[in-house]
Amino acid sequence: MIEIHNLSKVYNTKKGQVKGVDDVSISILEGEIFGIVGYSGAGKSSLLRCINLLERPTTGQITVNGTDLTSLKGERLRLARLKIGMIFQHFYLISQKTVFENVSFSLKAAKFPANKMKERVEELLEMVGLADKRDVYPSQLSGGQKQRVAIARALANNPAVLLCDEATSALDPTTTKSILRLLKKINDELNITIVLITHEMNVVKEICNRMAIMQDGRVIEQGSVYDIFASPETDLTKEFIESVVSFDVPDIILHRCDGPIVKVTFKGEVAGEGVISDTLQQFNVKGNFLHGSIEYIQEMPLGIFIMELRGQEKEVQSALQYIKERAAQVEVVRDGL
Ligand SMILES: Nc1ncnc2c1ncn2[C@@H]1O[C@H](COP(=O)(O)OP(=O)(O)OP(=O)(O)O)[C@@H](O)[C@H]1O
């Protein structure tokens, strides 16, 4: 659906060249919600703006639905861009225009038939849950409502793709959830491919199917959100995951443990608790649970438990081996003292 090939974006500044995006390649599938995560300055906005050519890539290629956007100019580029909607952190509504006029503005720009305008705007406002706000000005709306207007405007010309630039970063957690639910509904009902950039891992965990992590302009890890949460490879990815799923065991608790401490990860339908209780029954070891949770990512369970295993070394090793054969992953966090 969206193919990003060896894309780089270099900015020429007074202090010299700055590489915003450095040789990035990503394939985004039709109908998926793809998240791009990174700290400030990682290159997320530069990459997103290259997808609809708001920024022209310095090198590389962007293909959307088989059309190489980088080869287009003028009217052909403008028409291709109509099929790529975009929303922003700060909404960018026109303050002198009502909600209705903000949405119809997009349709007028695309020469939408005037006699069908009212019906189309009302349909869009219904979709985003703002049918009763059509004659209100943006200053009379909450942040979440403003973002809903921006979403209606972005969907006006039936785009195939919706780009979201930190769309929930200015919103409180409850409003964030409601906007994410709306994006998911749009994705499900209209089959629009969504690409979102964010520095908040909970946003990705909530609605994305796949994701990429960016640092210094480069993609350092990409894959399904579930697999990345289950087996992060880089320290930065681990850091992002720990911002939503923390497995820190306080030092004072660790000092009280003298057996090996293991982190056991169970994926999907494997019943983690069952494997652990079997282990404790079959071997002469005691399990001291220090931390545990089952996260649901795309409605699939991911169980992570941290526990101390106590007993004679041979028994502990056999128990560990038994768990390893049944769990997705076992990591010895600390050897026995
Ligand atoms: N128009 C520009 N001119 C010069 N340098 C730029 C420009 N836009 C971005 N950069 C630089 O490119 C790098 C990537 O910035 P970018 O805004 O894409 O990152 P980001 O991950 O989106 O961060 P943020 O969330 O803070 O916007 C940074 O070093 C930034 O200073």
Q: Which atom of ligand 1 is nearest to the CA of 20?
A: 12
Q: What is the pLDDT of residue 270?
A: 58
Q: Which amino acid, 172? A: D
Indicate whether this complex's ipTM tops 0.85: yes
Residues of the chain falling short of pLDDT 50: none
Question: Helix H segments across the chain?
Answer: 44-51, 74-82, 99-109, 117-127, 143-155, 173-190, 201-207, 225-230, 235-242, 251-255, 272-282, 313-326
pLDDT at 318 (0 to 100): 87
Rounded CA separation 60/70 (Å): 8
- The residue whose C-alpha atom lies closest to atom 11 belonging to ligand 1 is 20
Per-residue pLDDT, 145 = 94
Nearest to 154 by CA among 128, 174, 116: 128
- Say if ligand 1 is within 6 A of residue 20 CB: yes
Q: Are 331 and 323 in contact (CB under 8 A)?
A: no
> β-pairing, 16-28 with 2-13?
antiparallel
How far is the centre of ligand 1, averaged over its atoms, from the C-alpha of 43 (Å)? 6
- The residue contributing the CA closest to ligand 1 atom 3 is 11
CB atoms within 10 A of CB 216: 12
Nearest residue (by CA) to ligand 1, atom 7, is: 11
Q: Is the CB of 45 under 6 A from ligand 1?
A: yes
Centroid of ligand 1 to alpha carbon of 20 (angstroms)? 6
List the structure tokens of 149.
Answer: 């207007």
Tell whether ligand 1 has an atom less than 6 A from the beta carbon of residue 40.
Answer: yes
Per-residue confidence (pLDDT) for residue 274, from 0 to 100: 74
Give the per-residue pLDDT at 273. Answer: 62
Nearest to 97 by CA among 87, 110, 107, 88: 107
Domains of the chain (ranges; CATH) run 2-242 (3.40.50.300), 251-334 (3.30.70.260)
Cα(238)–Cα(304) distance, integer angstroms: 14
Q: How far is CA 173 from CA 11, 141, 254, 293, in A?
A: 34, 17, 33, 21
pTM listed for this prediction: 0.87
The Cα 86–Cα 225 span in angstroms is 23
Residues 82-95 pLDDT 10s: 889 999 999 899 99
